[in-house]
Every structure is written in C-alpha cells, then in structure tokens.
A and B are shown apart, each in its own frame.
Chain A
Amino acid sequence: MARIAGGDFRYRFAEHRGTLLAAAVFLAMFAIYGANHNAGFSTLVVTTAANKGVLLALVAMAQTLVVLTAGIDLSVGMIFVLANCLASQFVVGDALETGFGILIVLGAGLLCGALNGLIVIYGRLQPIVTTLATGAIFYGLALLLRPVPGGEINYDLADALTGDVFGVPASLLMLLGIVLVIWVPLRRSVTGRAIYAVGSAEAAAYMSGVAINRARFTAYLLSGLLAACGGLMLTFVTYSGEASAMIGGSYTLNAIAAVVIGGVSLYGGAGSAIGAIFGALVLRTIGDLLFVFDFDPLWQPLFQGVILLSAVTLGSLRLLRVRNRLDLFG
C-alpha cells in the first residue's frame, strides 16, 4: 500500500492533538491579555506572568506523570509546600551552601515521591487514598519546619531566576531546561513508554514483559522531584516559606485542572507534560484576563471552575459519536 507523506503527519498530529489545542488556547488568551494590557507585552508583564505560570506548570507536570499511570497524586501540592518551607530554611548562604540546600530540597521531593510510590506499589493501596493521607504527613512536616511564615532565601539566586535574560523570563528558561532534562528523555526512554503502557492497559503491559513496578515507581519519584522544583521556585518568588494548607490544596486542585485542560487523559496512558504546562498557563492567564478587563478578582474562582467544566464537557462531545452504548462504560 502506498504511503503518502501526509500520512505520517496525520498520525503525529493525532498524537499531539491535546497538547496543540491547549497551546493554541493559551496563545489566544495571552494575545488578548497582552493586547489589552496598558503596558502591552513589556518584559515585566511577561516575566510576572511567567513566574506565576511556571509555579503551577511544574506542579502540573508532577501531576501528569502520576496521571499517565492511571493514578492520581493528591499530595503534589503538599510536596510543593514542604519544598517551599525547606528551601526557606536551607537555600541560603554562599554558593556551596545554597547548592547543598537545593540538593536537600530536591532530595526531599524525591523521598516524598518514593514514599507515595512504595505505598501504592508494594502496599497496594489506591493512589487517591494514599496520597490524600501522605499529603497530610507532608503538610505536617512543613508545619513542623515553619510553624509561622518566614525564612529567607539566597536573594541573588532568587532575583536571577525570577528576572529575565535578554528579555526572556528566566523562569521560563528554567522550565524549558527541566523539560529538556527530565521530560524529553523520559518520554523517549523505555521506562517512559512503560509509564504510558501501564496507564493505558496494565494487563497487556504485563503480558508484553513491561517492567510495571519500575514504571510506576519512576512516575511517583519524578512527580515528587518536579513538585519540589515548583516549591523551590515558589521560594524564589516569595522570598519566604509558608506552611499553608490552602496553598497546597489549591495547587493540587489546579494541577489536576491543568492536566485535564492540557489534554492528559485521567484514565491514564495518553497525554503529555507539555500539554499540562500549557494547561497551567491557560489557568493562570484567566486571572490576568479578569484583571485587564477590570473584573473584580472575586470572579476568579468561578471562572476557573467554569473553564475547567467547559473543557471537560467539550471532551464529552465525543459521546455523540458513540454508536454502541456499551462503549460508554469503558
């Protein structure tokens, strides 16, 4: 059978449809935002927006990894908060001390992820219950560390990472770096593909000789790491640490929303962390849009909810194409 060149394109497009859609929505929203902002696309506007967006994007990436395995991680927000508190304690002093502090923060993220992974894999508890409970533990640890908001950070580093490099927000560059160092290699590694396989059809993956436990564990481990990266970044933005259940909870929930808007299937096995990043940026831009159109910021939670519900409801348009009602039940 002859293969036309367009054939490949069609399949590649189908594979990335969710990601592309999220990217398109974000670009459209951001263009509207920029066009209506008094200062236009000034570096400051973009950098401020980027810093906020990157925080959620990192947590959303963390959530994506677990969601791809058909699990859910309700503790990402708390790992994020714990990392924030740790960073406000340890990421200070000279370069060596700061570097060591960063290692502590990221190491803690890995440990949290590992704990989730071990309980889910070897304890055989459901991810949703497990991470709900470990989330409480991580939050407790954060509170132990920082009963009241405060602490400090290596201000030079913080300013560098929240500023801009030749007009490009440094935080975006960092996000790009993290994507290139963690996500891209993972996506193209055997373990990364195993993560997709486990989420899509665990039994078939087992039959095919896929290392299921390793895939799951890697997903939770890296999820913890990425959430900790987010917490570190939060410290750079706020210059302090705060053990706030509200921040943790809202990041967990918004990360799930970002993942869904980014085209990642909550049933596992389909989607991309890149899509989740755009999903996060879309969510963050909603607040900015309300601001430039002079909406009361009180409208923000409602808008976030409505956008999330619209996104998932649009997804159920596919139901109209279902001809066999049994297919509705998956």
Chain B
Amino acid sequence: MSAPPTISPGSSPLSRSRFGTLLARIDRPVLAAFGCIILLLLVGSLYSSSFLSPDYLLQQLQVASFLGLIATGMMLVVLLGQIDLSVPWVVTVGGMMSTAAAGWGPLGEALAIPFGITCGAAIGLANGIGVAWLRVPSMIFTLGMNAVAQGLMVLRTGGFAPQDHATSAMHVLATGRHILSIPNALFVWAIVGAITIFLLRRTTFGRAIYAIGNRERAAYLSGLPTRRVIVLAFMASGGLSAFAGVLLAGYSTKAYQAMGDPYLLPAVAAVVLGGTSILGGRGSYLGTIAGVILITLLQSILSVMQMPEAGRQIIYGGVIIAMLLVYGRQKRQV
C-alpha cells in the first residue's frame, strides 16, 4: 500500500521529501536565512553608513562567536529531538569556574579555560544521563540542572559578583585580534564549527545523531549506541556553553551572576531559524551559522536604531515568528 498521509507529526518530512530533492529540502531554509541576513544588512546600512564597513562586520562576528558556540551545542541536542534549557547557568558556571581557577596560582591560571569547560561538560553529563538513562524529557531535566547549577553558583559566590578576574589567556582569546585583525573569538568559533561539520557529516557519531533524532527506536534496533550518543551530545552542549561563558568572562574580565541569561532564547532561535527541525533529525550546521549571524545582526540593528528595550523585544519576537511562519512551518498534518 502506498503510504497514506500519516497524521503523526514525526513523519511529516515524508510528504515533503516525495516532491523535493534532497538539495531543495536542505537548502531552502538555509537560503532563506542568508537572504534575511542580506536584507538586514541593507536595512542596517540605511540607518548607518558604517554598517557595511569591514570593521563593524568583524565586530559583529566577534559578538556572534559567543552565541555561535552556544548554538553549536544547542544544535547537536536539538538534532536529537531534545533541548538544553540549562544554557543560562552553564554559561555562568563556565565563566565563574574559570575565573575561580585563575585565582588558584599559576597552575590554576594555566588550567582556567579547560577547567571551566570541564565543569560545563560535567553538567552536560548529568543532563545526558537524565535524558538517556532515566528518560526524563530533556525540557524538564535540563531545567532542573539549570536550577542546580544556579544553586551551586549562588552558594559559591553568596549571590554577589565574584572578585576573581579572568586570566590573560581568556582575555586574549575573547578580545584579541592577532591575525589580519580578525577577532580571535571568531577563530575559536570557526574551529569549533569546522569540527562540528566534520562530526556531523563524516563520522558515525554524526550519523547516529541524525538517526536518533529521526527515530530513536529504529536507531536502537539498528544497533547504534543511542544512549552514549545522547550523553555525548549533551556533554558537548554543556562544554560549549561553558566555553562561551569562559570567553564572556574574558571579554568583560569578570564573571557575574546570570551572565548567561540573555543567551537561551537567541541560541534556540538561531538553531531553528537556521532550518534545524525542533523535532530533531533535520538540519545543517550551515543553517545554524546563518541563524547565529541573523540573530546577532538583528540585535545589532535594533541597538543601532536606538530602539528602546521594549521595542527591541517586540520586534525581536515578531521577526522570529514572522520568519518561521514564512519558511519554518511544519507540513500540514492529516
């Protein structure tokens, strides 16, 4: 029997794929995202002539790098059909623990960056165990871990901004421009991005991520190590969020309470605007890059326009909804 239109949301790509080629299927949202970027650049240049200058653009990319790291981890998790809501405080953990390590003498100074990342990965490990072994919905488990991370940090710092300072390595990594005046942070994102693309496209790990996101049951029956993959993806997400926190602490020389709060919504929005299905199994890293740049530019334009915070939020939410309505809709079910 030729498949009748199924009603379950999980199988919706079927009907789409029947008509489109693989290329069209992958590229449409990504192209749309890049189209929006160009549109934003044009709109921005109307407001300020410096908007298209290389210096301004590089500065935007530097800011985008922090979000880019977080969105990378978020994308891995979203591809699995999960979500990581522990981002805000894992970012803060990264910042606080790395600056804390910096206060422990020369050894701590040397290990500040890896230590911050490791703490984030440890939270990611807990997330992964909760999702893969305990099979708690990621939305709730990562939410709980966010509270735990917050609790630990609040206890450690007594609720105040910690006095520790970022190491010079963190500062250089986050703000320096050593090669062709390209921000070092951008190199960090580029390296992480290249590794991610390689992982997703060329390794068994990447293949397994897509497989699990599409149909975990079939992936399990195919003998894929589903639990291990889920745990690793959450660890990557935790580690990358913490890495972003390390860089943010380097950027502003200090870690502070709730420094990760402004990053959850943009990270999810960047991933989804880049064409990754929030239900998992579909999406390319190129799209996530586009989504990150798109979000960063949008925020930048709103600030260039000297839009008050209220208007910024409204436009921000409205634009995300509008763009998704244009190209991110699910196929009609039934």
Contacts and interface: CB of A to CB of B under 8 A. Distances in A.
A134 B83 CA distance: 18
Interface string B1-18: 000001111000000000
B11 to A, nearest CB: 11
A133 B298 CA distance: 14
Given A132-B268, A140-B311, A125 B317 contact: no
B152 interface: yes
Nearest to A130: B321
Contacts of B139: 72, 128, 256, 266
B225 interface: no
A302 B316 contact: no
Interface of A: 72, 119, 123-126, 128-130, 132-144, 147, 202-203, 206, 243, 245-246, 249, 253, 256-257, 260, 266-267, 296, 298-306, 308-309, 312-313, 315-316, 319, 325-326, 328-329
B179 interface: no
A124 B329 contact: yes
B261 A249 contact: yes
Interface residues of B, number: 62
A257 B85 CA distance: 13
Given A143-B310, A299-B151, A299-B155, A133 B321 contact: yes
B317 A305 contact: no
B8 A203 contact: yes
A123 B325 contact: yes
The 9 closest A-B pairs by CB, nearest first: A302-B151, A305-B147, A140-B313, A136-B317, A140-B314, A305-B148, A143-B310, A137-B317, A203-B7
Most chain B CB within 10 A, of A119, A125, A305, A328, is at A305
Contacts of A296: 155
Most chain B CB within 10 A, of A124, A299, A326, is at A124
Contacts of B317: 133-138, 140
B82 to A, nearest CB: 11
Interface in B299-334: 308-318, 320-321, 324-325, 328-334
B201 interface: no
Given A72-B139, A147-B310, A306-B148, A325 B220 contact: yes
B220 A329 contact: yes
8 contacts: A123-B321, A133-B317, A133-B324, A140-B312, A253-B85, A302-B152, A312-B134, A313-B134
B189 to A, nearest CB: 23
A133 B140 contact: no
A243 B310 CA distance: 10
Interface in B256-314: 258, 261, 265, 268-269, 272, 278-279, 308-314
A312 B316 contact: no
Where chain B touches its partner, the secondary structure class is helix
Where chain A touches its partner, the secondary structure class is helix
B291 to A, nearest CB: 12
B35 interface: no
Nearest to A249: B261
Contacts of B309: 140, 143, 147
Most chain B CB within 10 A, of A126, A128, A147, A256, is at A126
B146 interface: yes
B150 A305 contact: yes
A302 B320 contact: no
A243 B314 CA distance: 13
B140 A134 contact: no
B334 to A, nearest CB: 6
B143 A308 contact: yes
B269 A132 contact: yes
Contact of B144 (A144, A300, A305): A305
B207 interface: no
